[in-house]
Amino acid sequence: MSLIPDYPPQGASYVYDISGLAKKPLVRGNEATEREAVMERKLEVGCSLIYIDPMREKHLSVVTAVWKNEYTGDPVGFKPPDDAVRDGVNLVYVSSDPQKMDTYGRQIERQTSVVHRSMQPAPGGANSWCWPDE
Encode 40-66 in three state secondary structure: CCCCCCCCEEEEECCCCCEEEEEEEEE
Q: What average pLDDT does the segment 98-121 reach?
A: 91
Q: What average pLDDT does the segment 4-30 reach?
A: 50
**Distance, CA of 99 to CA of 102 (rounded, Å):** 9
94 compared with 134, residue with greater pLDDT? 94
Q: What is the largest CA-CA distance in the chain?
A: 75
Residue 68 has pLDDT above 90, yes or no: no
Q: Is 28 left (phi over 0), alpha (psi -120 to 50) or beta?
A: beta
Decide if 90 contacts 44 (C-beta within 8 A). Answer: no
Among 67-81, 85-99, 100-114, 118-132, top mean pLDDT goes to 100-114
- Reported in sequence order, the residue ranges of the chain that DSSP labels E, i.e. its strands, are 14-16, 23-25, 48-52, 58-67, 88-94, 101-102, 105-106, 108-116, 128-130
Q: What average pLDDT does the segment 32-55 reach?
A: 78
Identify the weakest region by mean pLDDT among 21-30, 48-57, 80-89, 124-133: 21-30
List C-alpha distances in Å: 127 to 40, 105, 119. Answer: 23, 25, 11
Q: Where are the domains of the chain?
A: 48-130
What pLDDT, on the 0 to 100 scale, is given for residue 90? Answer: 94
Which of 80, 53, 54 is closest to 69 using CA atoms? 80
What pLDDT, on the 0 to 100 scale, is given for residue 75? Answer: 46
Q: Exposed (0-12), middle (13-18) or buried (19+): which is 77, by Cβ within 10 Å?
A: exposed
With a threshold of 0.75, does the pTM exceed it?
no
